[in-house]
Structure formats: C-alpha cells, structure tokens
Structure 1
Amino acid sequence: MKVCIIGNGGREHALAWKLHHSPSVTDVYVVPGNAGMTSIATVVNLDWKNRDTLLAWLLDYKIDLVVIGPELPLIEGLSDAIRTVGIPVFGPSQQASRLEGSKSFAKDIMRRYEIPTAKYEVCQDVETGKGIIHQWGVPIVLKRDGLWGGKGVTICETFTDAEQVLQEMLSSSEESVVIEEYMRGQEVSLLSFVDGTHVLPMIGARDHKRLLDHDEGPNTGGMGAYAPVPELDGTLEQTIVDTIVKPIVKAMAEEGHPYVGCLYTGLMLTEEGPKVVEFNARFGDPETQVLLPLLQSDLGVIMHATAMGQLEGMSLEWSKQYASCVILASEGYPQQTLTGQRITGDIHTIDTVSMVFHSGTTYETDHYVTQGGRVLGVVGLGNTLEQSLEHAYERVSMIDFEGQQYRKDIGESSIGFCIHTQYRKNSIDKEYN
C-alpha cells in the first residue's frame, strides 16, 4: 500500500516513521514534509493548497491512502476534494471537522446530545460577555471561536484580566467568544480511530499546554506529553468511551456528517466525572509522538480500515512500556519566535530507549537549523514513567541550539500517583502474603 501524509510537523514525522515500519505499507510519501523525514519517507515538494496539482500527483502515483495530519487542510475541505477522485482518506470531512474548527459548534452539539462538558455561553459583544463573567465569577475560561492552533484559550484569574481578554478577542477578527466555567481536575487526552460508526480507542495520553514549568506562562501547541496516563484505568476509559466518544460519533452521524479519522477528545477528570474540554479533528501534537512508539498493531491496516468504514471487530495491541516527549522550542515561542539557529547534537538516532521527531527544522549545507516555534520532540521509552522521562531528558541534554527552551517537569503529576499506587499495592501484598 502506498500512503501519502499531508503535513510537515512532528506529528507527521511520527506518523511517517510508524507507517514506514508497518508491514502493510510499501511506500510513504509526505507533502510537503520536513528535513528530518528523508530517511523514512519520500519528501514531495508540493503545496497542498494547490489542489489540482496535488490531486493529479496522487492519481499519477497511484496512492492508496491519504493521511491528513494538521487541522487546517481538514477545516478547508481537503479530505472532501481527495475523496471525490476516489482515493481513501484518513481524516474527517470539512463539515465533521467543525468539531475543532468552531468551538461554539462543538459546544452546541454537546448541549443538544447531553454530552458532559463545562457550562458555557457564546457571546458576540463585550457588554454581554462582561455580564456573564461577573455573574459566574473567576477564574473563568475564554475561548476564541475559530482555529488558533491550541493558543486561543485564556484562563483569567481576575475580573480585570477577563474583561481585557474579552475586549481583545472581540476586537480581533473573531465574531464570537465562548465563555466557559473553570473546571477543576486533571486533564487527559483520549484519541480514537473512528470510521463513521465504530470507535477504536487508543491508550490515554497527557499533554502539557503551558510554556513554563508548573503550568505557568502562555498556552502553546504543546510542550510535552506522556502515555499511558496511570490515573486513566480501564474502567474510567470505558466510561469516557460510553458517555462521550460514542455519543459524539453517533451525534455527528445523525447530523448528517459522519466522522472518519482520528477523534481527539480532551478531557477534564472532575469530581462529577469526565467532561469534555475540547475535540480536535486529528492526531494531537505531541501526543502522537508518545502514542505511536507504543502501538504494536499495523498502523497502515488500522488507518485504511478507518477510511473504508471497516473498523468493526478490530483491536489494538500496545507495548507495556511508557513513553515521554519533551518539546524543544525556539527562543521567543509562542510569541516572537527566533529561528535560523544551528542545531548541534544527535537528532537522528532511534534506539530502544529514545528517538527524536522533527517539528521545525531545515537543512543547510551540512547542518540543521531551527525553522519554527517547536523545533524537536525528544521521546524517551522505559518500563516505568520515571525511566521514560530519564531517557528523554538524557537525550535532551545531548541537543543544543541558541535560545532553546523546554519544560523540566513533564510527567511530575503522574509520578506521584505511580508512587502512591505502587505503595498501596506493596502494602496489600504484604497484608495478604
């Protein structure tokens, strides 16, 4: 099977790497790809926005499956265009992608189908928004309604901040802002393969959105992740699938827009139970970089079955290990990013304990330089969460570029849970032995 991936980030690098090792896949192409992918895929210098050229190339090369990585091509309807020429696509339609492209659409459909999420209101003017903010109190969450790459959400701790952020959001190109109650709890991501009807959930992952340690600083596209999440046991995962994932898939089908592809469900584990924070219409980044190294099933087979509506009866096999990812970002990210910095160290070797996925790099003569906000995703593997983090940070210490920034606390919240759980297990074992 010939597979073409659309995209050029760390998520697409991880997808290309996994598909390269899939027995069902003979050739992997990436449009437009990045410099780090050349050893595992054929990088094709095409612009996906030029649809006629892309469609002609896909047909000429007899591509069997197209995998769309980023959200923007989905929101702009690329999957629909490719399907019209008879090529299977892993990625939802433009209408189904509104689950990510419009927060108000997602919230409204959750309200109509009684899917648990935070209380919310959609407002179009500042005075109405101020009234809601003062009625609900702070902290409060303000979300830009459109597509902002994970950076359109602000948690406001004071009324002054909330009013200022609301004013800024509504004075920009946004026509509306979603105001949400602030939910307390632990966040977790559950990604699922969805073929329009059937749901095949993956293991849980946890992203770190804030730029700085201890969840401080501005929101980013993601500064690190790990999987699995110890707090997400089989019972809780099944509850999420039964009360959230399957109902939203059924809802989209009933609305006339069956969802096909990877459904990303961002969740808050509250005292009242799991609630939806957001839906994304694709694999998460950097969650993909920790999930795929643990997946033992043939990704090509699963993706093709998803695209063809044939997931029923299929299952996934997973490694018993943990995977952790630390994102290395450029100076100034996520505001004014400084690029063009020479990268030193080993950013290619993939072994049994670590690997590196390229997000924002380019190759110049004899070395790599930074070409984006998030530059590299450094992944560590281990038999425990702590061991996977040790391997990730050990690899991080071998890579450098000017202005490099990264979080040093990835996985800390679950390490405490793991230690507590192991202590309880040991105590029970002693009591009964």
Structure 2
Amino acid sequence: MRAQPTPPRKLLFVSRWGEILDIAYAASLEGNQVKMCIEDKDSREIGFGFLKKVRDWKAHIDWADLIIFDYTGYGKECEDLRAQGKLVFGGTEYTDRLELDRDFGQSELKRHKIKTLPYKEFFSFQEAIQYIQQHPNAYVIKPCGETQDIKQLLFVGSDDEGLDVIRVLKAYEKSWGDEFGTFQLQKKVKGVEIGVSAFFNGTDFLAPINITFEHKKLFPRELGVSTGEMGTSMFWADKSPIFEATLRHFKTSLAKHKFVGHIDLNCIVNGKGIYPLEFTSRFGYPQILIQRSSIVEPIGEMLYKIASGQQFRISVKKGFHVGAFIVVPPFPYNDKKSFELFSKDAVVVVKRNAKEGVHPMHLKNVNNEWLITGNTGIAVLVTGSGLTMKDAQRLMYNRIQNVIINNGYYRTDIGDRWFEDSDKLWSWGLL
C-alpha cells in the first residue's frame, strides 16, 4: 500500500539573525507555505527573494500550523504558545538557562550525576586574576549570558601557570570593563572535543543520534582567532557511549519541561573520562544544515512530526557528512564599514548552476542572482557526504571549487581531525 503524500504545511520561522534561511527555503521548495521573520535589524535583508518575509511574527501566529524558533532566548514565548495549543519547535525557559547560564548548566549536569570539570564563576576580572595567581593552572575563559555569542571572547589557555589567561583578562578589563558580565574559568583538560546531540519530541529522544566534530578556528590546523565555527564533520549513530553517559540522563527533565527541539552537549573526552562542557539547546550552525543535507526525508514534514510529538526514526544517509563555510571580510569580526566596502552585495556565482550541496546563509536573491547581505560575512555553507570521511571531504571540496565569491575564504582541512581522533576514541571505547 502506497504511503499517502503529506499535505503542505504553513510554517512560520522566527529567526534571531537569519541563520535558518537554508532550512526555511528547503521547506518552501518541498511545497509548504513558509513565512520567515528576522528580528535583528541589520540582518533583515537576508532571505529576500528566497521566500516570503514578515516583520512581526506575532501577527502570523494564527496563520501557522507550526512555529519554528531558531535560537535560544525564546523559551517563554514557546511555552506560552504551547499553552495556547500551538505546535512549536523551540526551547523552554529551562533549556534556555542550560545554554545561557553556564553556572546553571554545570549545576544541572551535577544534579543528573554527570561528571564535570572544575570551574568557578566570576563577576570581576581582578577577582579572577587573583584566583589564578593563587591556583596556577591552564584555564579556559568562558563568557556567560549574551556575551558568549561573541565567539572571539572565548579563550583557551595553554600555559600551565595560567599566565596567558591573566594577560587576556587584563586586556578584557581595559576593553570591556563592567559590560563584560559574568564569566567562568574552567580547568583545561587535554583530549578529543566531540558533540553529541539528538532531536527531542516532547517526551523522548529520536534516533539516530548525531555525533559532531567542530572546527572553530579561522585558519587550518586550528590556528588564528576563534570564530564560533568554520565547519563541522559528523555522522549518525544508533548508539553512543558518550550520549548514554551524558545527554540521555536529561530525558526526564526535558520531558518535564515539554521541550521540543534539538539539543547538543559539547564534551572533552580522554582515557580518564567524559567531561561535558556546554549545552546548545537549539539548532546548531552549521550543524543543522549539514544534518539537513544528510536527512533523506522532507525537512518541513520532519519538523512538523517532531513538534506534534510523533515517535519515529529519522531517515538519514549512511557514512560521513561534512560542511565548510565560505566567508568574506570582515568575518569573524563585526565591522560595518569593512563589510560595506568589500562584501556588501557581492555576487555568489555557482558554476554550471550546480547548487546541490551549496546552502545559502546571509544572502538575498535578486533576479536569480545570490547576493551577500547582512553584516557578518557568512556567504554559504558547502556540504558533502560519503561512505568514508575522505569521500565526503572530496565531494565537498569539489563543490567548493564550483563556487566563486570575490574575497571569499574557507578552511581546507574540515574533517581531517577525524583520522587521529577516531583512533583515540576507539582506544578509549567511546565509539
């Protein structure tokens, strides 16, 4: 008996900075009616010409079959909408706190009997400097609250006495003063950085689990400034020892708060254990775009099924999946004058119109030409999949060669970490 085609849905995407354009656009190409609202003023041009844009998302609540929120900070709105009987894909006040309040996230890990790294929260730079002087060690500076969105501020120390961290704290004190807000010093450990994540339908995690390896530095071989992300490699798995030891413990708490969405836990692992670092209780970028390229069912209908509480297995491609951002000046910095001088309205040319695996990021569509807009300089994400990591990399970098962007730059080693990291993970029994 043939499966009945699903009816088109009315999907309302509420975006902080327009990062979700690719997913919204894909959902519209699947036949759904899609509207998209971008709240950041400087980002509102993103998506023009791709799909219908609206200024006030609240005016379209009654129209929507499903409302999708793409970032943290909307937890209260999501809970209120669910209480009104609306289908919502997004966070809760509880999951917002897991990500935005690092101290709360660490305390929740402890409450769920999950081992954590030693850390301490600070409200002043001088207090933190004195602490390091009294307790010399290698530390990581982790901003809390809204400041953590500025990825360049996260600093991973390498000096065993903490002297490099002290120098950075003194620089932050001069440049930020009291506006920096609270931050953590977390003891640094050596190991493999790995993320485990899954979609949650309000009562349970959905299989398969997603395993990711982020590449955060601007240049190859993890050199340069931290960008938040330049690319990611991943695979899907039915089972994961890391997931079972960490995120699985949150099933009851997430169900209690009726969370519907995607949640990721970034960890450092080594031969001595698994150490969770931080939550991302929303879509990750570029994670969700690479996931979308490896999911073999319509993304709009999948989000609808998750939000409506259905229990099902997500259909995905086997093997490995990679994605690399192509960016332009002034990325990763925010400099409006440089952006307008070098990058604003620059054309993204895809040779032979081979746009498969090329995902629009901060773009608008004018007369079927993709033009860069917004203000941060993330042009496109290019993805590739394969049965081996090398196959996935080869396809992605072949696709990148088809993309012409004046002043564009990208990392040439996305996925390379896997070849060494996988040996370590196998030896520690974590794959």
Decide: shared fold, TM above 0.5. yes
- Per-residue deviation, 1:387: 2.1
2:249 paired residue among 238, 247, 250: 247
Identify unmatched segments of 5+ residues in structure 1. 47-52, 422-433
TM-score by length of 2: 0.81
Whichever residue aligns with residue 387 of structure 2, its letter is N
- DSSP 3-state at the match of 1:386: helix
Residue 183 of structure 2 is matched in structure 1 by 177
Structure 2 counterpart of 1:306: 306
1:271 is displaced (CA, Å) by 1.8
**Counterparts of 1:28-427 in structure 2 under 5 Å?**
28-32=34-38, 38=49, 42-46=51-55, 53-59=56-62, 62-72=63-73, 74=74, 77-147=76-146, 148-149=148-149, 151=151, 152-158=153-159, 159-167=162-170, 168=172, 171-201=177-207, 202-228=209-235, 237=240, 239-251=241-253, 257-311=257-311, 314-337=312-335, 338-340=338-340, 341=343, 342-346=346-350, 349=353, 354-363=356-365, 368-371=371-374, 372-416=376-420
Cα separation, partners in 2 of 1:185 and 1:38, compared to 1, 3 Å = farther
Residues of 1 paired with 2:18 and 2:228: CA distance? Answer: 11
Task: Give how far 1:129 is off.
Answer: 1.7
Indicate the SS of the match to 1:208: strand
Deviation at 1:35, TM superposition (A): 5.3
Query: CA, structure 1 residues 65+344, in 2 after alignment: closer, same or farther (shift >3 Å)?
Result: closer
For 2:64 and 2:366, the matched residues in 1 are separated by 30
Distance 1:392 1:185, change over 3 A: same
- In 2, distance between residues paired with 1:355 and 1:307? 26
Deviation, structure 1 residue 180: 0.5
Contact 1:146–1:174, Cα closer than 8 Å, also in 2 = no
Q: Find the aligned partners of 2:284 and 2:417 in 1 and give their Cα distance.
A: 20
Q: Give 5+ residue unaligned stretches, structure 2.
A: 1-8, 39-43, 426-431
What SS does the corresponding residue of 1:117 show, helix, strand or coil? coil
Instruction: Report the equivalent of 1:425.
Output: none
Letter in 2 for 1:16: A
Deviation at residue 287 of structure 1 after TM alignment? 1.1
Do the aligned residues in 1 keep the contact of 2:65 with 2:86 (CA within 8 Å)? yes
Aligned with residue 19 of structure 1, among 12, 27, 40: 27
1:430 maps to what in 2?
none
Cα RMSD for the two superposed structures:
3.2
Q: Report how far residue 56 of structure 1 moved.
A: 2.5
**8 A contact 1:266–1:276 mirrored in 2:** yes
Equivalent residue, structure 1, for 2:4: none
Please say if residues 11 and 288 of structure 1, whose CA atoms lie closer than 8 Å, have aligned partners that are also in contact. Answer: no
How far has the Cα of 1:135 moved from its partner?
A: 4.8
Structure 2 partner of 1:2: 10
- 1:143 Cα deviation from its structure 2 partner: 0.7
Q: Aligned equivalents of 1:217 and 1:183: distance in 2?
A: 20
Give me the whole-angstrom Cα distance separating, in 2, the residues matched to 1:332 and 1:339: 6
Question: 2: distance between equivalents of 1:269 and 1:66?
Answer: 36
Cα distance in 2, alignment partners of residues 10 and 394 from structure 1: 27
Q: Distance between the aligned counterparts of 1:419 and 1:275, measured in 2?
A: 19
> How many Å apart are 1:278 and its aligned residue?
1.0
Q: Percentage identity across aligned positions? A: 19
The one-letter amino acid paired with 2:158 is: E
**Equivalent position of 1:431 in the other structure:** none
Q: Closer, same or farther in 2 for the Cα pair 1:228/1:8, shift >3 Å?
A: same
Q: How many residues are paired up?
A: 397
Give me the whole-angstrom Cα distance separating, in 1, the residues matched to 2:424 and 2:272: 23
Aligned 8 A contact 1:34 1:358 in 2:
no
Give per-residue Cα distances to partners, 1:126-180, cap 9 Å, x unaligned: 3432243245534310111113326142112343331233342682424421110
SS in 2 for 1:400: strand
Residue identity in the other structure for 1:13: L
Classify the secondary structure of the residue corresponding to 1:180: strand
Preserved CA contact (<8 Å) 1:104 1:122: yes
**Residue 317 of structure 1: CA displacement?**
2.3
Q: Distance in 2 between matches of 1:418 and 1:241?
A: 16
Distance 1:38 1:388, change over 3 A: farther
* 2:266/2:277 contact within 8 Å kept: yes
- Deviation string 1:81-137 (CA, Å, 9 cap, x unpaired) is 433543211111233311111111111221232223322111223343224324553
Query: Aligned equivalents of 2:196 and 2:352: distance in 1?
Result: 29
| CA distance in 2: counterparts of 1:362 and 1:301, whole angstroms | 25
